[in-house]
Amino acid sequence: MRSAAIEAINVSKNYGVTQALKSANFKAESGQVTALFGENGAGKSTLMKILAGIERPTSGEIKVFGEKVEIYSPIDAQSLGITIIHQELSLCPNLSVRDNIFMGRENSKLGFMNYTHEEEVTRRVLAQLEEVIDPETRVENLRLGLQQIVEIARALTINSKVLIMDEPTSALSSTEVAVLFKIILELKEKGVAIIYISHHLEEALEISDHAIVLRDGQVVAEADVADIDLEWVVSNMLGRTFKEQAHKNSGRTKGRNILEIKNARILERGIATSKLYAVEDFSLTVKAGEIVSIYGLMGAGRTELMEALAGRDDFAHGELLLDGIDVKHLSVQNRIKAGMGLVPEDRQRDGLIQQMSVGSNLSLASYMSHIKCGLVNRSTEKTKIEEAIKNVRVKTSGRDMPIESLSGGNQQKVVLGRMLLTDPKILLLDEPTRGIDVGAKGEIFDLLRERAEQGLAILFVTSEISEAINWSDRIVVMSRGHVVGIYKPSDVTREEIMSIAESTKEEGARV
């Protein structure tokens, strides 16, 4: 019989008047993967932070292998064999891959650093993850998926008895997920207790043995995975039945051409002199009131395209017209003024300032519009912020609340609301639902649909085929920097999209 590796008993956590956890009971056993499900704000990350020593419970107790323990810090947790892979990456971008993996655990002898040993271990654990990354590479120069690999690699170098994985695959490709799952199975065989949190519900069910559901800070359901299905998970998460609704676009009028991309070529990041293109010969038109999605596997060039469209990277060749005006040489700020808004892939690094309030984050992009004669019109700014909170349905007790107090889904609404305050003609969204739950995803796309009905052009990148099919008027499929097909959702299946995305052939169907 498996032993309980870690157990939370009647654990509560209060943040002022907000109760994030309410007498929650949770247990994970050795040699087993326990999936923890719940909407954003259900208390999943709070509970895991308590187990990992990042937060202290208001009440309740923690047991590790049957012994009551006090976990005052992450160092205490590590000494007990508890390691966490964070949902929001905890890497230092200006340090190397090696330095991040061994941060706080530097290998030294007689006062001298043993970099050779650290480099050997770094290469070995990255090889285990089937990735070839130079240990000396600065983390900030890696794409988000590889940064997530580094975070996972760091956890694997620690001899853990309990491994908490909070959204470990949110930026990984399907190939990288398969490799991680293989490692999870190996850890299970070694008796490690694994706690797995993911908003990719089917993925979590695939790898897990046991499921626990949190709702409003309380454990509301628990079962072996062999005895449940996806509907059980979703209904317990939401407290009601839920069916994913397809996007209804019939009757919505498409207007003039808002965005025109012609024969775009975009160099790979960090490569200024070679002819290695992340995107090559890309052409697309998006009309007012139209929702267009871009689907492709990791490395297809999706994010590089979005960054170049927003002005954060350069076009090596091609044309970029916004409402008929050439904007290719405009700065990011001037593109925003011209009517182009970007919701970035990594909201923590590029979308939010964690030390600021909800209101301050909302007004960042439109701040200059509130200035007259060198003075900020605080009344107008306040009104706009309150309207944005209401319009994008941010769940917060007020605009002065710290942004870090919000769930992932509500933080994403703040990023979206901020760009909508700039009154854009087109909204560019890179993985707009990354790391948020099924309910919040629906709310985000409902907001986008409402704006499209008002004439806003929308172009979004997604790695979830269901999002592309359910919410797009047209789906652009990319592979290795090229468009390999453009389809109406009614004309293509999930399986066909996946097959097309893996293709190396030049352009297929176009609509």
| Residue-level pLDDT at 372 | 67
Q: Around Cβ 12, how many Cβ atoms within 10 Å?
A: 18
Burial, 228: exposed, middle or buried (Cβ in 10 Å; 0-12, 13-18, 19+)? middle
How many distinct helices (H) and strands (E) make up the chain? 16, 24
Q: Quick one: pLDDT band at residue 131, thresholds 50, 70, 90?
A: confident
Q: Which residues make beta-bridge pairs with 164?
A: 84, 195
**331 or 408, which is more confident:** 331
Rounded Cα–Cα distance for residues 239 and 401 (Å): 27
Domains with residue ranges and CATH for the chain: 4-238 (3.40.50.300), 257-501 (3.40.50.300)
In the DSSP assignment, the letter for residue 347 is: I
Q: What is the pLDDT, as a whole number, of residue 312?
A: 84
- Compare 110 and 391 and report the one with higher pLDDT: 391
Q: Using an 8 Å Cβ cutoff, are 420 and 376 in contact?
A: no
Percentage, residues of the chain above pLDDT 90: 44
Does residue 144 or residue 240 have the better pLDDT?
144
- In angstroms, how far is CA 55 from the centroid of its own chain? 22
The predicted structure's pLDDT at residue 55: 94
In this structure, the number of other CB atoms found within 10 A of the CB of residue 140 comes to: 12
d(CA 82, CA 64): 9
* CA–CA separation, 76 and 59 (whole Å): 18
Identify the H or E element spanning 50: helix 44-51
Average pLDDT of the segment spanning 295-301? 80
Which has more pLDDT, 365 or 12? 12
pLDDT for residue 39 is more than 70: yes
- What pLDDT band is residue 111 in, cutting at 50, 70 and 90? low
**Residue 476 falls in which region: left (phi positive, over 0), alpha (psi -120 to 50) or beta:** beta
Instruction: Render pLDDT for 488-497 as a digit per residue (tens, 0 to 9).
Output: 999 998 888 8
| Of 447, 383, 442, the residue nearest 414 (C-alpha) | 447
Structure confidence at residue 3 (pLDDT): 60
pTM to 2 decimals?
Answer: 0.68
Instruction: Say yes or no to pLDDT of 116 above 50.
Output: yes
164 neighbors 52 (Cβ within 8 angstroms)? yes
Instruction: Indicate the range of 8-22, 212-226, 312-326, 370-384 predicted with least confidence.
Output: 370-384
**Between residues 400 and 502, which one has the greater pLDDT?**
400
CB 317 within 8 A of CB 262: no
Instruction: Identify the residue with better confidence: 218 or 390.
Output: 218
Q: Please give the average per-residue pLDDT across 450-474, as a whole number.
A: 92
Residue 234 Ramachandran class (φ > 0 left, ψ -120 to 50 alpha, else beta) = alpha
Identify each DSSP E strand in 16-58 by its residue range.
Answer: 18-29, 33-37
CA distance 397 to 383: 16
The strand pair at 257-267 and 317-322 is best described as antiparallel
Q: Which two tokens stand for residue 106?
A: 């530097």
Q: Give the C-alpha separation, 62 to 72, whole Å.
A: 11
Give the residue among 352, 328, 350, 323 at the shortest CA–CA distance from 339: 323
Task: Label residue 387 by pLDDT band (50, 70, 90).
Answer: confident
Number of neighbours of residue 230 by Cβ within 10 angstroms: 12
Going by pLDDT thresholds of 50, 70 and 90, the confidence category of residue 400 is confident
Half-sphere exposure (Cβ direction) of 289: Cα atoms closer than 13 Å: 12
Whether residue 174 has pLDDT greater than 80: no
Q: What are phi and psi of 79, to 5 degrees?
A: -65, -25
Q: By mean pLDDT, which of 153-162, 243-252, 279-288, 371-380 is the weakest?
A: 243-252
Average pLDDT rounded to a whole number, residues 162-173: 86
